[in-house]
């Protein structure tokens, strides 16, 4: 029940635990002194040998002892608080640093909801382990030994019997431990599973409402919650049962001590004061161990949580690449192959060059692997085969920090944070002055709109929910422009937005391509007609490449895609025209 790894993780906590034990021990000694004084007074009262001086002395001792015990209690609580404060800070910091080391690809190894639960609730559970259980563990051994030594001076047989009964409590704890461990591990498994479902359903609530699937999902969650309720009840039952057993041993043992003291007094082996002292102190033999038993269950929960924390901390980390990205240089992919699960090949022998200046595009049907290439280029998946070089440096050797400074990724789901327009823009360049911010907003045609609002202080709600899709994308693009990196990847950055915003963004991409490398992934071929090089993908492979004119002349896959899209767009336009005429 002592996890060395946990203690070594927070070495400062050892000092707080030691002081906590010391203060509890001083309090016990003070209690023994008070009991000795009280029993001495009671015995002399019974025998009629008491004096006023003795009553006064006893009263003074009691006041001093109560004062000392109050101080000790405050100090030991303070030690518990300091230890739990340190533990929470250190462990949460370690989890945070681990996530940074796992990098942007952490989701491949662990679920976000699990991290949140472990880092919040899991660490909270460890608080009791360090602030209450660990000090109690040592105090529960020290207290009976101290009392044994003291009572040996009064009556050895009673002291021996009381000491022998004490270990029955840890034996009872050990008996339930294996069962409790399994149960708590199941409990945590169920808890994180429920958290996963809850988070997913909450995030997708609008979709669930649209498809009227919320009732079905509600049922599903109820079932999961019911499983969680059952396992929680099992845990509580286990805890209550074991507390009952411990109470039985504790009070049974104390009663035994009292009976023995009385018989020893009857047979004249101990005087009245000694007998009363044994009776009053016998419960103290068991109370610390009994208290340890109560903390034990909370600590077990913390230990189960610590298993989850260690599992997270032990996740294999990608090799910490050290090299910096060369600012100048093409991105060259040679025979790149990739699979997410090690079984199904998603990319096969990809050979492509993203020129250091100009617009390179990639086209192809849905699911052919376009976004996977972008994700590899952003360093999210490092286990690709073949070679990807930025200048002379292999991508997997480049540090994440340097890569993210070198490449800016703009997707159709660019995240806008709750705050103001200024705050969102400053993420791109924290040092940018207002004039610079307005300049990029002019570029993306958002300045006029924002002037009618609250300018750079216009409020942005979570995920930009108070902005239209097109405005969100324009703002995301403005932020990307401020990032000022040599390479930009646009992954379907204009999908699901209005034509005007789409045209503005395409125009900005073309302007950027004059001075830097722009890599565009787009379903809509009309957006990439001006690209210097277009790669066409089919089933994870590149089947054609060239400019728009070259590709159309080849009369292959690209031409087919182009014609299909053109006829679809013409159809949609004529359909809209007929509709409008009808309405007129």
Ligand X SMILES: Nc1ncnc2c1ncn2[C@@H]1O[C@H](COP(=O)(O)OP(=O)(O)OP(=O)(O)O)[C@@H](O)[C@H]1O
> Which residues of this protein are in contact with ligand X, per CB under 6 A?
340, 346, 364, 366-372, 523
**CB of 469 vs ligand X, minimal distance in Å:** 17
CB of 159 or CB of 346, closer to ligand X: 346
Distance CA 441, CA 203 (A): 30
**CB of 122 vs ligand X, minimal distance in Å:** 26
The 3 state secondary structure assigned to 187-214 is HHHHHHHHHHHHHHHHHCHHHHHHCCCH
**CB of 495 vs ligand X, minimal distance in Å:** 9
Token code pair at residue 367 = 């699911």
With tokens 């125009």, the residue in question is 507
Strand, helix or coil for residue 459: strand
Given a contact cutoff of 8 angstroms between Cβ atoms, the answer to whether 35 and 274 are in contact is: no
- According to DSSP, residue 121 is labeled I
**CB of 224 vs ligand X, minimal distance in Å:** 24
Token code pair at residue 155 = 């009556």
**CB of 557 vs ligand X, minimal distance in Å:** 14
With tokens 């002592």, the residue in question is 2
Distance CA 55, CA 525 (A): 101
- Beta-bridge mates of residue 336: 350
Burial class, 287, CB count within 10 angstroms (exposed 0-12 / middle 13-18 / buried 19+):
middle
CB of 263 or CB of 345, closer to ligand X: 345
Measured distance between the N- and C-terminal CA atoms of the chain, rounded to whole angstroms: 81
> Would the CA dihedral through 245, 246, 248, 253 be positive or negative?
positive
How far does CA 6 lie from the centroid of its chain?
18
Q: What is the CA radius of gyration of the chain?
A: 36
> Would the CA dihedral through 424, 425, 427, 432 be positive or negative?
negative
Token code pair at residue 548 = 């728009």
Burial class, 148, CB count within 10 angstroms (exposed 0-12 / middle 13-18 / buried 19+):
middle
Distance CA 523, CA 363 (A): 6
Distance CA 292, CA 285 (A): 12
- Pairing state between β 407-411 and 358-364: unpaired
CB of 82 or CB of 354, closer to ligand X: 354
How far does CA 272 lie from the centroid of its chain?
61
Strand, helix or coil for residue 345: strand
Given a contact cutoff of 8 angstroms between Cβ atoms, the answer to whether 142 and 18 are in contact is: no
CB of 289 or CB of 506, closer to ligand X: 506
> Would the CA dihedral through 275, 277, 280, 284 be positive or negative?
negative
CB of 345 or CB of 420, closer to ligand X: 345
Distance CA 534, CA 519 (A): 10
Q: What are phi and psi of 112, to 5 degrees?
A: -60, -45
CB of 356 or CB of 412, closer to ligand X: 412
> Angle at Cα 61 formed by Cα 56 and Cα 65, nearest 5°?
150
Q: How far is CA 150 from CA 65, 165, 266, in A?
A: 17, 17, 21
**CB of 347 vs ligand X, minimal distance in Å:** 8
**CB of 343 vs ligand X, minimal distance in Å:** 10
Distance CA 518, CA 497 (A): 20
């Amino acid at each position: 029940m002592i996890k060395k790894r946990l203690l070594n993780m927070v070495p400062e906590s050892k000092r707080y635990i030691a002081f906590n034990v010391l203060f509890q021990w001083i309090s016990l000694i003070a209690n023994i002194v008070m009991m000795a004084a009280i029993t001495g007074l009671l015995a002399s009262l019974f025998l009629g040998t008491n004096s006023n001086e003795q009553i006064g002395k006893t009263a003074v001792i009691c006041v001093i002892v109560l004062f000392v015990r109050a101080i000790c209690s405050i100090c030991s609580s303070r030690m518990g608080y300091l230890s739990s404060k340190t533990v929470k800070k250190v462990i949460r910091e370690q989890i945070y640093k681990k996530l940074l080391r796992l990098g942007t690809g952490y989701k491949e190894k662990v679920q976000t909801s699990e991290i949140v639960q472990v880092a919040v609730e899991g660490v909270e559970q460890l608080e009791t382990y360090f602030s209450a259980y660990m000090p109690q563990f040592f105090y529960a051994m020290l207290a009976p030994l101290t009392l044994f030594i003291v009572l040996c001076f009064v009556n050895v047989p009673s002291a021996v019997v009381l000491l022998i009964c004490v270990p029955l409590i840890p034996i009872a704890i050990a008996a339930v431990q294996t069962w409790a461990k399994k149960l708590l591990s199941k409990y945590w498994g169920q808890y994180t599973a429920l958290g996963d479902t809850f988070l997913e359903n909450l995030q997708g609530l609008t979709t669930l409402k649209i498809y009227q699937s919320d009732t079905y999902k509600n049922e599903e969650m109820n079932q999961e919650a019911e499983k969680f309720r059952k396992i929680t009840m099992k845990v509580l039952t286990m805890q209550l049962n074991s507390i009952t057993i411990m109470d039985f041993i504790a009070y049974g043992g104390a009663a035994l001590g009292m009976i023995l003291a009385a018989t020893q007094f009857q047979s004249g082996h101990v005087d009245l004061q000694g007998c009363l002292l044994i009776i009053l102190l016998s419960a103290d033999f068991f109370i610390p161990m009994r208290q340890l038993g109560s903390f034990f269950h909370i600590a077990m929960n913390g230990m189960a949580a610590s298993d989850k924390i260690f599992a997270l901390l032990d996740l294999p980390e990608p090799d910490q690449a050290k090299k910096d990205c060369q600012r100048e240089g093409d991105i060259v992919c040679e025979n790149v192959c990739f699979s997410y699960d090690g079984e199904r090949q998603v990319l096969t022998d990809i050979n492509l060059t993203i020129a250091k200046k100009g617009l390179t595009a990639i086209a192809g049907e849905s699911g052919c692997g376009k976004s996977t290439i972008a994700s590899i280029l952003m360093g999210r998946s490092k286990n690709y085969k073949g070679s990807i070089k930025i200048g002379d440096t292999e991508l997997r050797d480049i540090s994440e920090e340097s890569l993210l400074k070198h490449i800016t990724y703009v997707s159709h789901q660019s995240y806008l944070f709750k705050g103001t327009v200024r705050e969102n823009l400053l993420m791109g360049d924290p040092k940018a002055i207002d004039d610079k911010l307005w300049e990029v907003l002019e570029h993306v045609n958002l300045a006029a709109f924002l002037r009618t609002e609250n300018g750079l202080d216009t409020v942005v709600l979570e995920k930009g929910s108070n902005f239209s899709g097109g405005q969100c994308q324009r703002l995301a693009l403005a932020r990307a422009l401020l990032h000022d990196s040599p390479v930009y990847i646009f992954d379907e950055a204009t999908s699901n937005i209005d034509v005007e915003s789409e045209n503005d963004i395409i125009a900005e991409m073309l302007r950027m391509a004059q001075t830097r490398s722009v890599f565009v992934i787009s379903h809509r071929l009309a957006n990439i007609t001006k690209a210097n090089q277009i790669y066409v993908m089919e089933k994870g492979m590149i089947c054609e490449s060239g400019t728009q004119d070259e590709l159309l002349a080849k009369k292959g896959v690209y031409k087919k895609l182009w014609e299909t899209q053109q006829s679809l767009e013409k159809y949609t336009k004529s359909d809209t025209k007929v509709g409008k005429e009808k309405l007129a």
